[in-house]
Amino acid sequence: MERSWWWKALLYGGLVALACLYLVPTVVPEQKQPEFIKKHFQKRIQLGLDLQGGLHLVYEVHVDKAVSDKVDRIASEIEDRLVKKKVAGVTISREGRDDIIAVFKNPTEQVMIDEELLREFRRQLDLIKRDSVTGTVHLRLDPDQIEEVRDSALRQGIETIRGRVDKFGVAEPTIIRKGTDIIVELPGLKTADFERIKTIIGRTAQLEFKIVDDGSDYMRKAAALVAKGSGIDVLPESWTEKDSGKPHEDVYLRAKTRDALEKFFAGLTGDNAVPADHEIGYEETSMRNDAGEATQDRSWRTLFLKRRAVLTGEYLSNADQTWDQQTGRPEVSFEFDHQGAILSERMTRENMGRKMAIMLDDKITSAPVIEGVISSRGRITLGSFGDPFQMQQEAKDLVAVLRSGALPAPLRKTFETQVGPTMGRDSIDKAKFSMYIGAAAVILFMLIYYRLAGIMANLAMVVNMLFMVAILAAFEASLTLPGIAGLVLTIGMAVDANIIIYERIREELRNGKSPRSAVDAGFSRAFWTVFDAHVTNFVAGVVLYSYGSGPIRGFAVTLLVGIITNLVTSYWLSRWMFELLVGRRGGTPATLSI
């Protein structure tokens, strides 16, 4: 027997054995698996959303918020440059979504916003109007920049959601863009995890640091407008300047709900409205009894903030869960990168003795007094109420979203579907039935029409299916209903190549060649026909995978894998079996059952 025949026998036998090992975790329950399998072969085929149930979510991305944030950052940079040029008495604010308005106290200084200052922003900003009488400069974000920010927000949103989902441990999630929406499909989730992962995905996680404008006359003016019986309390608050030691008396508003406070300030108009360069922040606190001890009752209080964030979470380099040494409750510590440390150091040095509000998703988590220069580290407290175990889980989830990065724009869930495992099981049963019927029909046809050669074709088809599912298991691919359709299609493709080869062998036999010569000529001359057909189908599969999404990609994956394995089994494996049949063992048969 030729040595090459033995090498091929060992190669195909080894591949079949390896494929079987990869399939054990998929078909055998874990408790019945040998230790060798548990240690070396734990990858398995994952079922898609349509087969095992899960969560289908559609989120609308508020891209306008990403645009307005971009304008705010540019306005802050322009203000910093004017400060470096020793320009005093200038107010720079965003108007609407796209516009920046700079108002100079000294109108003649409006020329300081010149070509040199705007050179860095020449692709981003358009100069709309300049008024030398009022000292006003009107700038607007370029329309091309708006589209770029929109696209960037959607791309970053998809990657951020993917990072959060991966940390949750969901296998083979589908996260795609459709217009200004993001579609998320999470297979295999337990019902108990639905709410938690929806919270993790939808959390914007925008961390901002804003200075509290203590001592402003505005809060006293607003407090005088609070009606009796409105459910809003006006409470005094005192603070002392760090450098001069001068005491100040201030007031803040408190209510049992945040809505009550928000409605009050929303109803203020004209001169009583919140100034454009300021905003009202809301902090949730615990109520105290007559003895001054904290209770489980909650309330909301106001803080008068400068609107522009001096520092944001985009400069975070790390986040981790820690414990408060005094209360023993969980909290989240974070670190800034190099640029963030510089900004933090400058912010705290310039506002020594004032309060700094740490805001997460428009909610103040804490507002400590700046008593020293803070450079690279900080922490977020989670309050003093609630179940400690629940708070620990909240801290872990917050760490996960901070590490994955903030969403560039808020999300609004517009559609949700929970797919139950019952529908998936019914679909699997029907798909299996169709695959069995198709396989039985193909096997029966090959046996009747090609006899012994049909048995070899059927054996090659079985090995082909074995290789396919083993490769899917090795890469932990997600199997969906369209994927099963791809498997069914591959059953037909598996024998199509054999039919081309067999008909060529029959033609050679009719021309009077011996079985051995007919087999050699049939396989050699049919190779390029078989190869071209597989290449054509492979290109179609690549196109489907590249431009398709969801179910189409699932079909394309199984199709591509099936094309590769089918070429191996229908040509090389089948030829090896024919070589065994027609005389590579030493004898040459006079006839061939084909």
Distance separating alpha carbons of residues 367 and 373, to the nearest angstrom:
15
CATH number for 24: 1.20.1640.10
Quote the pTM value. Answer: 0.55
Q: Measuring CA to CA, which residue among 461, 458, 470 is closest to residue 15?
A: 470
Indicate whether 355 and 436 sit together in one domain.
no
pLDDT of residue 126: 84
Within a domain: 157: no
The residue among 329, 358, 385 that closes a domain is 385
> Rg of the chain over CA atoms, in angstroms?
35
Within a domain: 415: no
Determine contact, residues 319/332, Cβ cutoff 8 Å: yes
CATH number for 285: 3.30.1360.200
Distance separating alpha carbons of residues 236 and 491, to the nearest angstrom:
79
Cα 80–Cα 86–Cα 87 angle in degrees, nearest 5: 80
The residue among 94, 124, 142 that closes a domain is 142
pLDDT of residue 288: 64
Dihedral (C-alpha) 275, 278, 280, 282: value to the nearest 10 degrees? Answer: 180
Which residue reads 């791809």 in tokens?
Answer: 486
Strand order in the sheet with 377-381: 316-323, 330-336, 377-381
Indicate whether 479 and 367 sit together in one domain.
no
Distance separating alpha carbons of residues 245 and 129, to the nearest angstrom:
45
Determine contact, residues 33/25, Cβ cutoff 8 Å: yes
Q: Kindly tell me the sign of the dihedral angle through the C-alpha atoms of 584, 587, 588, 593.
A: negative
Q: Kindly tell me the sign of the dihedral angle through the C-alpha atoms of 61, 67, 69, 70.
A: positive
Within a domain: 557: yes
Indicate whether 254 and 296 sit together in one domain.
yes
For residues 310-331, one letter each, b for 16 or more C-beta atoms within 10 angstroms of the residue's C-beta and e for the rest, the string is bbbbbbbeebebeeeeeeebbb
Cβ contacts of 114 within 8 Å, gap of 6 or more: none
Residue 109 tokens read as 């200084």
Which residue reads 């695959």 in tokens?
Answer: 435
Indicate whether 239 and 110 sit together in one domain.
no
Cα 581–Cα 584–Cα 590 angle in degrees, nearest 5: 55
Q: Which amino acid is at 228?
A: K
Indicate whether 492 and 457 sit together in one domain.
yes
Containing structural domain, residue 472? 3-53+420-581
Strand-strand pairing, 478-479 and 46-47? parallel
Indicate whether 267 and 228 sit together in one domain.
yes
3-class state of residue 214 by DSSP: coil
Indicate whether 213 and 262 sit together in one domain.
yes
Cβ contacts of 383 within 8 Å, gap of 6 or more: 284, 285, 286, 365, 391
Within a domain: 168: no
pLDDT of residue 1: 46
Q: Which amino acid is at 442?
A: V
CATH number for 119: 3.30.70
10 Å CB burial of residue 190 (0-12, 13-18, 19+) is: exposed
The pLDDT tens digits for 20-62 are 888 888 777 777 778 777 777 777 777 776 777 778 888 888 8
Q: Kindly tell me the sign of the dihedral angle through the C-alpha atoms of 155, 159, 162, 164.
A: negative
pLDDT of residue 61: 83
Distance separating alpha carbons of residues 94 and 532, to the nearest angstrom:
61
For residue 77, the number of C-alpha atoms closer than 13 Å in the C-beta half-sphere is 13
Indicate whether 38 and 82 sit together in one domain.
no
Question: In the beta sheet, which residues pair with residue 418?
Answer: 55
DSSP state of 573: I
Separation of CA 27 from chain center: 30
Q: Kindly tell me the sign of the dihedral angle through the C-alpha atoms of 72, 78, 84, 88.
A: negative
Distance separating alpha carbons of residues 305 and 278, to the nearest angstrom:
6
Determine contact, residues 105/73, Cβ cutoff 8 Å: no
pLDDT of residue 318: 74
pLDDT of residue 105: 85
Residue 462 tokens read as 């079985």
Indicate whether 342 and 475 sit together in one domain.
no
One-letter-per-residue 3-state SS of 521-562 = HHHHHHHHHHHHHHHHHHHHHHHHHHHCCCHHHHHHHHHHHH
Distance separating alpha carbons of residues 228 and 300, to the nearest angstrom:
18
Indicate whether 49 and 68 sit together in one domain.
no
Distance separating alpha carbons of residues 574 and 462, to the nearest angstrom:
12
pLDDT of residue 583: 67
- DSSP secondary structure of 11-74: HHHHHHHHHHHHHHHHHS-GGGS-HHHHHH----PEE-HHHH-EEEEEEEE-HHHHHHHHHHHH
Within a domain: 250: yes
Within a domain: 553: yes
Indicate whether 336 and 476 sit together in one domain.
no
Indicate whether 106 and 227 sit together in one domain.
no
Q: Measuring CA to CA, which residue among 396, 382, 288, 379 is closest to residue 329?
A: 382
- DSSP secondary structure of 372-438: S---SEEEEE--S-S-HHHHHHHHHHHHHHHHH---SS-EEEEEEEEE-HHHHHHHHHHHHHHHHHH
Tally the domains of the chain. 3
pLDDT of residue 415: 84
Residues (pLDDT < 70) of the chain are 1-5, 49, 167-172, 188-191, 204-205, 239-246, 248, 287-296, 325-328, 378-391, 393-394, 397-406, 420-425, 427-428, 549-550, 583-591
Within a domain: 155: no
Determine contact, residues 361/205, Cβ cutoff 8 Å: yes
* Region of 253 on the Ramachandran plot (φ > 0 left; ψ -120 to 50 alpha; else beta): beta
Distance separating alpha carbons of residues 580 and 575, to the nearest angstrom:
9
Within a domain: 459: yes
Strand-strand pairing, 411-419 and 54-61? antiparallel
The residue among 87, 120, 142 that closes a domain is 142
